[in-house]
Amino acid sequence: MTRPSCQDTLLIKKRDLKNNYFSATFRTYSRVDQCRPGQFVHIQIPSAEIYFRRAMSIAGVSSRRREIEVIFKVVGRGTRQLGNLHEKDRVNLLGPLGVPFRWPRKSETAVIVAGGVGFPPLLYLASEMVKRGHDPRRIEFFYGGRSSADLIERSRIRKLGVRFHPVTEDGSVGEKGLVTGPVEEFVRRAPNRHLRLYGCGPEGMLKATNELGVRLKVPGQISLEAPMPCGIGICLGCVVPLVGGGHARVCWDGPVFEIGEVAL
């Protein structure tokens, strides 16, 4: 089991990915070997206006260099401040937190549905699958956005050798439309149904992916977001209602949930 810890790290690389996206790499993070795709770190942002940490999915790690990467989009006060950090700034990370994605079986095809800030954990997931020997041709990576500018770091997905399906609402890259259209098409056409869905992205996309999985009986998981005061299950602030009744904490019981589990 991972034991989360708070630790100071050094921002050693910051890359502007355009369209308000940034990649930030922190060193030296002692828990890199315990990180799993789907988990997140809770980042403390040194600023007058920010009180809570901000949750960011792990986008990748380098065991050798003890580096951890997050990819974030500037959407509000906290992420703006994060985007203003300088290389060599000290940043406190609490993590790794949350329940990771479950691995697909070798025989299964992973159908990844990514969008917006849901992309980083799925990039990490696909990278790790490939690294651990999952056949890249058994990874179908659907990546949706409004326009080509929303689909960041495409070269990194391509390099993995997975089957990459960009989809944009304006058709500026890949198929035109909402990503869940082509996903459904693929699922319906899949010759054998040894599929496993992995979804993370904006609310609409998550809902559609969840609904699709339930309707077509494809197992899989989705990763949720919620504002998170603590990130470690002690404040009860980040709850979502479950289909079976009751609440689950997104930070501790999730953020990864089984398809059909959460009342979205």
Partner 1 sequence: MSPDLRVSFAGVEFANPIMTASGCCGYGEELAKVYPLSKLGALVTKSVTLKPRLGHPPPRTAETASGMLNAIGLANVGIDCFITDKIPFLEKQKTRVIVNVAGSSLNEYVEVCGRLSDIARVDMIELNISCPNVDEGGMEFGADPVMTEKLVAAVKKVFPRPVIAKLSPNVTSIATIAAAAEQGGADALAVINSLVGTAIDVETWRPRLTYNKGGLTGAAIKPVALAMVNAVHEKCRLPIIGIGGISNGSDAVEFFLCGATAVQVGTALFIEPDVPVRMLGELKAYLKRKKLSSIGELTGKVRKY
Where along the sequence are the contacts to a second copy (CB under 8 A)?
Answer: 46-48, 50-51, 86
Residue with smallest beta-carbon separation from ligand FAD? 76
- 237 near ligand FES, judged by CB under 6 A: yes
The answer to whether residue 24 forms part of the interface with ligand FES (CB under 6 A) is no
- Nearer to a second copy by Cβ, of 16 and 33: the residue is 16
- Which one of a second copy, ligand FES, ligand FAD, none is in contact with 86 (Cβ closer than 5 to 8 A by kind)? a second copy
- Which one, 17 or 232, has the nearer CB to partner 1? 232
The residue from 6, 236, 243, 263 that contacts ligand FES (CB under 6 A) is 236
Stretch that binds partner 1, among 60-68, 155-163, 187-195, 230-238 (CB under 8 A): 230-238
Contact 114, 200 (CB under 8 A): yes
How many angstroms separate the CA atoms of 253 and 216, rounded?
Answer: 25
Which of 32, 70, 110, 126 lies at the binding interface for ligand FAD (CB under 6 A)?
Answer: 70
The 33-62 site mask, x for binding partner 1 (CB under 8 A), equals -----------x---xxxxxx---------
**Looking at 77, 186, 229, 242, which residue binds ligand FES (CB under 6 A)?**
229
240 near partner 1, rule: CB under 8 A? yes
Smallest gap from residue 157 Cβ to a second copy (A): 34
Q: Is 54 in the site for ligand FAD (CB under 6 A)?
A: yes
DSSP string across the chain: ----EEEEEEEEEEEEEETTEEEEEEE--TTGGG--BTBEEEE---SSS--S-EEEE--EEETTTTEEEEEEE--SHHHHHHHT--TT-EEEEEEEESBPPPPPPTTSEEEEEEEGGGHHHHHHHHHHHHHTT--GGGEEEEEEESSGGGS--HHHHHHHT-EEEEEETT-SSSEES-THHHHHHHHHH-SS--EEEEEESSHHHHHHHHHHHHHHT--EEEE-----SSSSSSS--SEEEBTTSSEEETTTT-BEEETTTB--
Cβ nearer to partner 1, comparing 141 with 252: 252
Return d(Cα 258, Cα 123) in angstroms, integer.
19
Map the footprint of ligand FAD across residues 89-148, applying CB under 6 A: 117, 120
Query: What is the binding site for partner 1 (CB under 8 A)?
Result: 1, 3-6, 44, 48-53, 94, 226-227, 229-241, 246-247, 252
